[in-house]
Structure 1
Amino acid sequence: MAILTEPELEPAHDILVPNGGTGSPFVFNSPHSGRHYPRRFLKASKLDTMTLRRSEDTFVEELFSGVVDFGAPLMHARFPRAFVDVNREAYELDPTMFDGRLPSFANTRSMRVAGGLGTIARIVADGAEIYSTPISVAEGLDRIERFYKPYHRDLRSLVDQALNRFGTAVVIDCHSMPSSRITRENRRRPDFVLGDRYGTSCTSILTDVAQETLQRLGYTVARNKPYAGGFITETYGSPGEGQHALQIEINRSLYMDEIRYVRAGGFAWLVADITHLCRRLMSVSVEALRPGRAAAE
């Protein structure tokens, strides 16, 4: 894993665009797979790099890389979720972790802030505290201005381009989840969790196609539990306006060693299956996704 200094973390995110131009209303997005850790952040953290990586959706952008050949853009963060989380409101901030007064418009009372996982996270995924001392308000706001806002400007631009060209847009928000071995749950977690915010962020056609395709491939699939979709799914999903957002969570035990953060033997196989899944999703007709039809679902 590369450890980069601040000036080297440019661009802060990548957008992979098909050679022949975008030919689909689908936009694939991997907001949590960034694994380039700014040196200043590592210095401020009391955790070692391997512990910080517990919040990563490691390799997820690689799992979905085949969509570019089908005419869809793939956007992914290069910075880590533990540094700044773009799947949150812009200012979901915990006042206890900052040295100074937060702006009055900051959302300091959300459930995500209470859980330590706001826009600037207080903890990593397993609950370990990231910082030994409070960070400055200026540092937190700088991360939002330099990383969070440009990310959403580009994601919104991709969505608007699809809307203008096709009359509809579909954001597939790509994530991974720790296995029950890591979370120490008694019950085995499903292979995939599809999150459509209980049917409010996309037409049921998309969720149905995803579930049926994955089950035919032999995977176990759950809907909305334990992940119904986050800020991105909620923000970019408005089926009545022809905007759809579906979150896909992949069990990491399918493709990686969760302790050593390396690809497992089934990685290439899973890439092929996810590529097939995306091909099936992208075969849904544009007419079925446009506002009038989607609102009727």
Structure 2
Amino acid sequence: MEHMPSDCGLFEVREPEAQRIPFVYNSPHSGRAYPVDFVEQSRLDPSSLRRSEDHFVDELFSSAVELGAPLLLAHFPRAFIDVNREPYELDPRMFDGSLPPYANIGSVRVAGGLGTIPRIVAENMEIYSRRLSVEEGLARVEAIYKPYHACLRRLIARTHVQFGFGVLIDCHSMPGNIRVAGSNIRPDFIIGDRYGTSASADLSRTAMHILEDLGFTAVRNKPYAGGFITEHYGRPARGLHALQIEVNRSLYVDETSLLKRPQFPAIAAAIASFMRQMAEYVDLYASHGALAAE
């Protein structure tokens, strides 16, 4: 766990010298700089607080920049604020005072403790030792959530203008014990396209095939079909495609110690190959206008 000094950037964009491919990569849950006040507010020890991180996902996908795509990554932790939610999915039980009328207090994610300001980390562990003020919650949305999404929108819009279309890859990790419902399949990767609504079916199938050819078990949309970011930014009819990719953490990190496994470089190299092949596919088919609109 790192502590976030007051002058630390909340997120950053790592850019190539020139964008060469119509991709934007985003890692919203790999932040590991924890505000001191937040740690003091929590009833959890630092190791437990980190259970909701997408551990080292920003590093796994770092070669996107060498390929010619920008990579947006969070420094703030998901447990502090989750930008893969609507801006105001807030649980009234967490706050002293009344939330504004536009807050979405009834979503499934809020009910599960995983709203914009999460109530729990993994294994249903309560984060806070006391209620927060409404002002504190709304301040996080203004200071972090809104600037993050403004930055992501700019990257996507710039890509769309430059290439005539764009592909957002939203990068995540999942616990090693995840299974596909009704089976014993333990996926290495899950590709989420909001059940075919956030990206071209050909693009989703290609992502699956590339991962399988690399020797991994890949599934689509089960149990993760993509969150707010995938749903919100994927507009295939306008030539804007969004895929969520989940990497099984047990492939590259010890989920008890949260340290990298010796296999980490090999998984990162495989992901680099995946990104390169996705770029080659898009370059081939974009020349025919296949991804410009659905």
Number of the residue aligned with 2:272: 275
Match of 1:13 among 11, 30, 50: 11
Q: Is the 8 A contact 1:240 1:291 kept in 2?
A: no
Number of the residue aligned with 2:232: 235
Number of the residue aligned with 1:65: 62
* 1:255 pairs with 2:255: no
Q: Greater CA deviation, 74-83 or 203-212?
A: 203-212
SS at match of 1:76: strand
% identity of equivalent residues? 53
Question: How many residues matched?
Answer: 292
Q: Aligned partners of 1:64, 1:99: CA distance in 2, in Å?
A: 40
Query: What is the deviation of 1:282?
Result: 1.0
Normalised TM-score (structure 1): 0.94
Describe the superposition over 1:168-202 as per-residue Cα deviations: whole angstroms up to 9, x where unpaired: 111000000001189xx994521001000111100
Query: What is the deviation of 1:216?
Result: 1.0
* 1:285 pairs with 2:282: yes
Q: Is the 8 A contact 2:29 2:74 kept in 1?
A: yes
Describe the superposition over 1:247-290 as per-residue Cα deviations: whole angstroms up to 9, x where unpaired: 00000010011111111010000111000000011112358459
Number of the residue aligned with 2:119: 122
Quickly say closer, same or farther: Cα 1:186–1:260, change in 2 above 3 A: farther
Q: Is the 8 A contact 1:240 1:294 kept in 2?
A: no
Amino acid in structure 2 at the alignment position of 1:4: M
Number of the residue aligned with 2:199: 202
4+ runs of 1 displaced by more than 3 Å? 185-188, 285-297
Query: What is the deviation of 1:296?
Result: 7.1
Query: What is the deviation of 1:217?
Result: 1.2
SS at match of 2:154: helix
Number of the residue aligned with 1:22: 19
Q: Is the 8 A contact 1:179 1:188 kept in 2?
A: no
Quickly say closer, same or farther: Cα 1:186–1:43, change in 2 above 3 A: farther
Q: Is the 8 A contact 2:165 2:291 kept in 1?
A: no
SS at match of 1:285: helix
SS at match of 1:27: strand
Structure 1: stretches of 5+ with no match in the other structure: none
RMSD: 2.0
Number of the residue aligned with 1:163: 160
Q: Is the 8 A contact 1:167 1:290 kept in 2?
A: no
Amino acid in structure 2 at the alignment position of 1:34: G
Q: Aligned partners of 2:193, 2:82: CA distance in 1, in Å?
A: 20
Number of the residue aligned with 1:46: 43
